[in-house]
């Protein structure tokens, strides 16, 4: 299918997920940045690539496009199976997908830039109200996730055993985002430990927002 | 693993997704209802089953629990492969997962009951403002999804070819939800056609909110 282009933004946590997976799979890709705060993802040229006008999107030379970070990561895991990002057994795969989706469906969507902007424009939310909203929804999911991870014998050095995978990818990207809104991580020692273990790995470091060409 | 219990709520669109998959796979399950508007999902007995206090959750006699609707549906597809809910080829699977996640990550999370309640309590949103919020986020995703479905040769009687799958499951549950907030479906003829095709199938009809024991 030829060269891969990743349309993304250094600070976007969904872009970060895909970058980690690409690095873990040792796949080469061309980095194309869209500055979300300047509306770069809504330019006509990009809308003709991804009509949804969101990042990340993976695009090939023949025009094939995949959007949605978890769909991209699962695709990469299917076409480049090593190292695997999901366990082999269906219940283990379900547990990892569940943990990933707790972040990807219950935290990130309600806290991303377009929602926070709408709270400002539609309801007059100020910086403090926006930060409170962000922290509230992190806590609603991180509290039960901490409990689930701390109490499960399946949790190891990472979310599921001793190898990093899809759930760790989502967790690390969320923890990075939390730092921008002053989330107190003290109540989440297991989540913090797993995120720290991930951040010792070259793939996670290379994919981090601060190490991207458009980092500010 | 024994008898399956589905913790759910008739009107929850994520519960609806799982019910459709269970019906398509012809799997028997015990229906346990939690009345979301009365906080039934936050009762201690249920929190000990699913610490996140959300529905749906699939639970077995031995205490094994899977939450998050897409994780549940993919699990069911792995352990009961017929009929398949994802195509066989990785690019096709990615397209179906992308379409499913456009609903599951970009519409549903920002429009579910707990978010709408927070808009009321935190920002004083009234019924009209809540409905406007709901319709706005549906449009932000349904407009590009309509274009992607209408323009792709891979779209058939359903989202991907002529057999229903994961994307159709998410689409139908969202369309059902839209009806409660007065979403004008006129701009979305392809989405409407696919949803109507689904609603001719027994599995989709049996799983519909109005046909559940806790329906009001």
Over residues B72-82, the pLDDT tens digits come to: 999 999 999 99
**CB-CB under 8 Å, B102 with A105:** no
Is the pLDDT at B204 greater than 80, yes or no? yes
Is the pLDDT at A119 greater than 80, yes or no? yes
Least confident of A198-202, B4-8, B40-44, B103-107: B40-44
Mean pLDDT of chain A: 96
| Sign of the four-CA dihedral A59, B174, B110, A198 | negative
Facing residue for B90 by CB, picked from A79, A91, A108: A79
Q: What is the pLDDT of residue A34?
A: 93
Count of positions (residues) in chain A: 216
Candidates 3.40.30.10, 2.60.40.60, 1.10.10.60, 3.40.50.1110; CATH matching B4-83: 3.40.30.10
Is the pLDDT at B179 greater than 80, yes or no? yes
Is the pLDDT at A36 greater than 70, yes or no? yes
Q: What is the pLDDT of residue A86?
A: 98
Summarize pLDDT for A145-184 with one digit per residue, the tens. Answer: 999 999 999 999 999 999 999 999 999 999 999 999 999 9
- Binned at pLDDT 50, 70 and 90, residue A108 comes out as very high
Q: What are A114's two structure tokens?
A: 């377009």
Is the pLDDT at A203 greater than 70, yes or no? yes
Q: What are B177's two structure tokens?
A: 């939800």
CA distance B97 to A8: 19
- Higher model confidence: residue B116 or residue B62? B116
CA distance A208 to A179: 13
**CB-CB under 8 Å, A68 with B147:** no
- DSSP output for A107-167: THHHHSHHHHHHHHHHH---HHHHHHHHHHHHHHHHHHHHHHHHH-TTB-SSSSBTS--HH
> Count of CB contacts below 8 A, A vs B?
122
Facing residue for A70 by CB, picked from B97, B108, B140: B97
For residue A41, how many other CB atoms are within 10 A of its CB? 23
Q: What is the pLDDT of residue A39?
A: 78
Q: Which residues of B touch A108 (CB under 8 A)?
A: 105
**Beta bridge partners of residue B6, listed in sequence order:** B31, B58
Is the pLDDT at B133 greater than 70, yes or no? yes
Count of positions (residues) in chain B: 216
Mean pLDDT of A23-47: 89
Facing residue for B97 by CB, picked from A53, A68, A95: A68
Is the pLDDT at B175 greater than 70, yes or no? yes
Q: What is the pLDDT of residue A43?
A: 85
Contact criterion met (CB below 8 Å) for A7 and A1: no
Q: What is the pLDDT of residue B43?
A: 85
Summarize pLDDT for B159-171 with one digit per residue, the tens. Answer: 999 999 999 999 9
- DSSP output for B112-135: SHHHHHHHHHHH---HHHHHHHHH
Q: What is the pLDDT of residue A42?
A: 79
Q: What is the pLDDT of residue A44?
A: 84
Contact criterion met (CB below 8 Å) for A28 and A5: no
- Binned at pLDDT 50, 70 and 90, residue A113 comes out as very high
- Binned at pLDDT 50, 70 and 90, residue A4 comes out as very high
- Binned at pLDDT 50, 70 and 90, residue B211 comes out as very high
- Binned at pLDDT 50, 70 and 90, residue B42 comes out as confident
Q: What are B109's two structure tokens?
A: 């999370």
**Beta bridge partners of residue A196, listed in sequence order:** none
Distances (CA, A) of B16 to A175, B43, B77, B109, B193: 31, 21, 16, 15, 19
Mean pLDDT of chain B: 96
Mean pLDDT of A17-24: 98
Is the pLDDT at B93 greater than 90, yes or no? yes
- The CATH class for the domain spanning B90-204 reads mainly alpha
Q: How far is the alpha carbon of B112 from chain A, nearest alpha carbon, in Å? A: 10
Place of tokens 């399950």: B29
Q: What is the pLDDT of residue A66?
A: 98
- Binned at pLDDT 50, 70 and 90, residue B38 comes out as confident
Contact criterion met (CB below 8 Å) for A94 and B4: no
CA distance A11 to A93: 28
CA distance B191 to B146: 6
Q: What is the pLDDT of residue B1?
A: 65
Give ranges for CATH 3.40.30.10 in chain B: 4-83
CA distance B100 to B117: 25
What is the share, in percent, of chain B residues with pLDDT greater than 70?
A: 100
- DSSP output for A52-96: T--S-EEEETT--EEESHHHHHHHHHHHS-SS-SS-SSHHHHHHH
Q: Which residues of B6-32 are buried (b: 16+ CB within 10 A; e: fewer)?
A: bbbbbbbbbbbbbbbbbbbbeeebeeb
Q: What is the pLDDT of residue B169?
A: 98
CA distance B116 to B130: 6
Q: Which residues of A touch B144 (CB under 8 A)?
A: 50-53
Nearest CA in chain A to B57: A98
Is the pLDDT at A40 greater than 80, yes or no? no
Reported ipTM: the value is 0.97
Please enumerate, as own/partner, the contacts of B78-84 that have beta carbons within 8 Å and a separation of 24 or more. Answer: B78/A90, B78/A93, B79/A90, B80/B25, B80/B27, B82/B25, B83/B24, B83/B25, B83/B163, B84/B163, B84/B165
Give ranges for CATH 1.20.1050.10 in chain A: 90-204
CA distance A130 to B89: 42
Summarize pLDDT for B43-73 with one digit per residue, the tens. Answer: 888 999 999 999 999 999 988 999 999 999 9
Q: What is the pLDDT of residue A1?
A: 65
**CB-CB under 8 Å, A118 with B123:** no
Q: Which residues of A touch B90 (CB under 8 A)?
A: 75, 78-79
């Amino acid at each position: 299918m030829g060269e891969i282009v990743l349309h993304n933004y250094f600070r976007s946590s969904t872009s970060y997920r895909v970058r980690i997976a690409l690095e873990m799979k040792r796949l080469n890709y061309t980095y194309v940045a869209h500055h979300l705060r300047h509306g770069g993802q809504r330019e006509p040229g990009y809308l003709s690539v991804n009509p949804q006008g969101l990042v990340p999107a993976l695009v090939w030379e023949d025009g094939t496009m995949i959007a949605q970070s978890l769909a991209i990561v699962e695709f990469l895991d299917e076409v480049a199976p090593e190292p695997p990002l999901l366990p082999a057994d269906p219940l283990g795969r379900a547990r990892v997908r569940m943990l990933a989706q707790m972040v990807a469906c219950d935290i990130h969507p309600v806290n991303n830039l377009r929602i926070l902007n709408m709270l400002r424009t539609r309801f007059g939310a100020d910086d403090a109200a926006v930060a409170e909203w962000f922290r509230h929804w992190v806590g609603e999911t991180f509290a039960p996730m901490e409990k689930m991870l701390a109490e499960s014998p399946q949790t190891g050095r990472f979310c599921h055993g001793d190898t990093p995978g899809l759930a760790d990818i989502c967790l690390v990207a969320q923890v990075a985002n939390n730092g921008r809104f002053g989330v107190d991580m003290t109540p989440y020692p297991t989540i913090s430990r797993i995120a720290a273990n991930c951040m010792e790995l070259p793939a996670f470091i290379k994919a981090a927002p601060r190490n991207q060409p458009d980092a500010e």
